[in-house]
Structure 1
Amino acid sequence: MEDTMTSTPDIDYNYYDYQNESVYSHDTEEQLHEDLHPGYCREAACIITVIFNVIVFLLGIIGNGAVIWITGFKMKKSVNTTWYLSLALSDFIFCATLPFTIDYMMKNNWIFGLFMCKFNSFVMTLNMYSSIFILVIISVDRCITVKFPVWAQNQRTVKKASVVVMLAWCVSSLLSIPPAKFREIINMGSKDICYANYENHHKTVVFMRFTFGFLIPFLTIFTCYSILIHKLRANQMSKSTKPYKIMTLLITTFFICWLPFQVVSILELDRTKHSLAFHTAQQVSGSLACANSFLNPLIYVFMAKDLKKCYFFLSKIESAIDEETRSAFRETSIT
């Protein structure tokens, strides 16, 4: 098999959802698909990727389910628990759809119909947007809390936080419609392939994803952090830097997981040929992006204040989130 395979500029072998998001000529589509996906999952790379996704699914469902239970039912309602509940819901929903992707990877045959083909893509894109939007909201919220403590103490309410979260989910849903809209199913003999037929809109979709899912959030978070650092240094509030560790780790983890995917997506636009090495890069970047969905609960666990005293998984998560909530409340009292 040759190392490169010719395709049109509109091809998108995006492996964020581990599905062949491809647009190519009818004459080469079957051969190209067989080259990249040779039947059932037998190759080492495919087996490793499947195992990795199973781990993401199990840890994501258990971890995010625990966070949802703690922030939604066990802890007292607060602005901070509202943020973390929404973040956990986003990751939980994504992880719940992973079995469809895992089955597709193993069988190289989409058996769930056109609706689930579109819905699976919608949920995965929704996870990306909603996660980063919530992280932006957390950053802006912390910035306002430190910069305007008196105003924040009077205006930060659970009801307003819930409205902000709903708006974030609505915007995320709207931005997730285009990738789902272009999803189609093509039959190749005994196989059904779920792929993205972007036609002439490939660059538009990638541009929207990079702009609203990475660039604008990055600039917003960077601005908030700059203001926070300046304020903390000006007031010599050295003890107040500790509560930002969880937020910092959440944001850093998100960008580490998603930056390779965004870079590979942009590089793919100008390629008229797709090498197996580039195909592997797409798989790796897609796997890294999906890994973000189970890492957040682990961050809560390892960042718990009384780690040595907390012997149970749930108590560690509650301890970390509770510390964040108490710290945010103290900050509103700073004048």
Structure 2
Amino acid sequence: MDYDQSFDYNYSNYDNFTTQEEAVFQHKSTCLNDVLCVSLLVVSVIIFLLGFFGNALVIWISGFKMKKTVNITWYLSLAISDFLFCAFLPFSITNMVMEEWIFGLFMCKFASTLMFLNMFSSIFLLVVISVDRCISVMFPVWAQNQRTVKKASIVVVLAWFLAIGLSIPSMVFRDVRNHLGRTICFNNYTMTQHSHKIVALSRFLAGFVGPFIIIIICYSVIILKLRTNRMIKSSKPFKVMSALVAAFFICWLPYHVFVILELNHQNYDHSILITGLKVGTSMAAANSFLNPVLYVFMGNDFKQKFKSSVLSKMENAMGEEGRTTSRYLSRTSSMDGRASTYI
């Protein structure tokens, strides 16, 4: 099968590679003559530019310009995950243009691993933030006493280790072969039986379905609590987090859908499946630049956006949550005389 392997497409029917093929076929890139390829190329370049510099800005502000808090720890880790992924996008962009992998076996494995490390770390951090917010709303006094930057940092490290563990299959199955006169980076699932299905379903369940069930439960609890409690006047933190979760869902759902369909690729049109994988992968990559954009445009109301600098918008978006939570916890503590004696 002859198709572009720009990010992480999963077909593994590359068993019969011969030296005769290499001698007969001389590969010439046709990307610049294809509308879809050019469109995805432009999108990828935009994702790289916005994601790289946008997340670098978030890292600089949250890491060096703002006071370290639990909320800043969450968002800083998210930005680092997105920044690392965007930093290696030029390898995939080059591969997209040349329609050939020229960076060797190690980078073939490493670039793909970073994609899934970004996916798992992002969703795990969103789960952590959702659970943290739920606990803060349900048990405000306990949260005020127990939520510390040190504990948050430990949770982040654990989330990253779990994400690294689930990203290992990319290191194992990613491979480089010569085919029809070009070098291709692809997923070689022919090593063991059912490995393709196991990897695809585990990524779908652990990196998408399971975490979203937890997030939905947490948000349902939060909404019910907020309806019966009018002490929280600002809804900005809730809107920022809702936007982050919605962006992740919209960006990653198409990719997972086509990966699952690919498990029975003989039942579907090959061209549609490949196009869906390409578009789905590009949408998944787009999630890496949406987070800093959301920080900017949801930090202040619409009228104030044009009156302040980009830095103040982002700082407001990330810092507003800490100030609002603090006000809420303080009011709750003052109303509960018995609880306040333990603070």
**Structure 1 residues 38-47 or 208-217, which shifts more?**
38-47
Residue 39 (str. 1) matches residue 23 (str. 2): no
Count of aligned pairs:
319
How much has 1:304 moved relative to structure 2?
1.5
Corresponding residue number in structure 2 for 1:100: 91
8 Å contact kept, 2:81–2:122 = yes
1:165-203 deviation line (CA, Å, top 9, x unaligned) = 000000000000012210111013642111111123000
Q: Deviations over 1:274-323 (max 9, x none)?
A: 42122211111111111110011111111112534643212211111111
Equivalent position amino acid for 2:29 in 1:
G
Give the partner amino acid of 1:266: I
Higher relative CO (Cα under 8 Å, sequence separation at least 6) belongs to: 1
Q: Which residue number in structure 2 is paired with residue 209 of structure 1?
A: 203
Residues of 1 paired with 2:10 and 2:179: CA distance? 15
Q: What residue is the counterpart of 1:328 in the other structure?
A: 325
The alpha-carbon distance between structure 1 residues 182 and 120, as it changes in their structure 2 partners (threshold 3 A), is: same
Name the CA distance, whole Å, in 2 between partners of 1:260 and 1:267: 11
Q: Which moved more, 1:132-141 or 1:40-49?
A: 40-49
1:181 corresponds in structure 2 to 172
The C-alpha deviation readout for 1:66-108, integer Å capped at 9, x for no partner, is 0000000000000000000000000000000100000111111
Residue of structure 1 aligned with 2:286, choices 277, 285, 291? 291
User: Counterpart amino acid of 1:320?
Assistant: A
Structure with bigger gyration radius? 2
Give the equivalent residue in structure 1 for 2:239.
245
Structure 1 CA distance for aligned equivalents of residues 71 and 149 of structure 2: 9
2:14, 2:57 → 1: CA distance?
A: 47
Contact 2:55–2:80 under 8 Å retained in 1: yes
CA contact (8 A) 2:173 2:187 kept: yes
State whether structure 2 residue 63 is matched by structure 1 residue 63.
no
CA-atom RMSD in angstroms = 2.3
Residue matched to 2:340: none
Mapped to 2, the partners of 1:325 and 1:241 lie a distance apart of: 12
Asked if residue 316 in structure 1 is aligned to residue 307 in structure 2, the reply is no
2:296 corresponds to: 301
Measured against aligned partners, the alpha-carbon deviations of 1:99-147 in whole angstroms (never above 9, x if no partner) come to 0000111111111111111101111100000001111111001000000
Q: 1: distance between equivalents of 2:273 and 2:306?
A: 47
In 2, are the aligned partners of 1:14 and 1:286 still within 8 Å (CA)? no
Distance change in 2, residues 1:114/1:27 (3 Å): closer
**316-325 or 122-131, which moves further after superposition?**
316-325
Aligned pairs for 1:152-301 (under 5 A) are 152-188=143-179, 190-199=181-190, 200=193, 201-237=195-231, 239-272=233-266, 274-301=269-296
- Give the one of 79, 98, 104 matched to 2:70: 79
Unaligned runs of 5+ in 2: 22-26, 334-343
Aligned partner letter, 1:205: V
Alignment partners' CA distance in 1, 2:38 and 2:236: 41
Amino acid at match of 1:64: N
Distance 1:195 1:19 in 2: 7
Q: Which amino acid aligns with 2:208?
A: F
Counterpart Cα distance in 1 of 2:323 and 2:204: 35
Structure 1 gaps of 5+ residues are 8-12, 32-36
Match of 1:34 in 2: none
- 1:221 maps to amino acid: I
SS of match in other structure, 1:109:
coil
| Alignment partners' CA distance in 2, 1:14 and 1:230 | 48
State the TM-score, normalizing by the size of structure 1. Answer: 0.89
Amino acid in the other structure paired with 2:277: Q
Contact persistence 1:14–1:282 (CA under 8 A): no
SS in 2 for 1:110: coil
Q: For residues 13-57 of structure 1, give each alpha carbon's deviation from its aligned partner in whole angstroms, at most 9, with x where no partner exists.
A: 897x624432115349999xxxxx973422111111111101000
Q: How many angstroms apart in 2 are the aligned matches of 1:27 and 1:38?
A: 21
User: Once structures 1 and 2 are overlaid, which stretch shifts more, 274-283 or 246-255?
Assistant: 274-283
Q: For residues 219 and 48 of structure 1, do their structure 2 counterparts lie closer, same or farther at Cα, with a shift above 3 Å needed?
A: same
When normalised by structure 2's length, the TM-score is 0.87
Give the SS at the match of 2:251.
Answer: helix
Cα distance in 2 for residues equivalent to 1:276 and 1:209? 24
Matches of 2:257 and 2:306 in 1, distance apart? 42
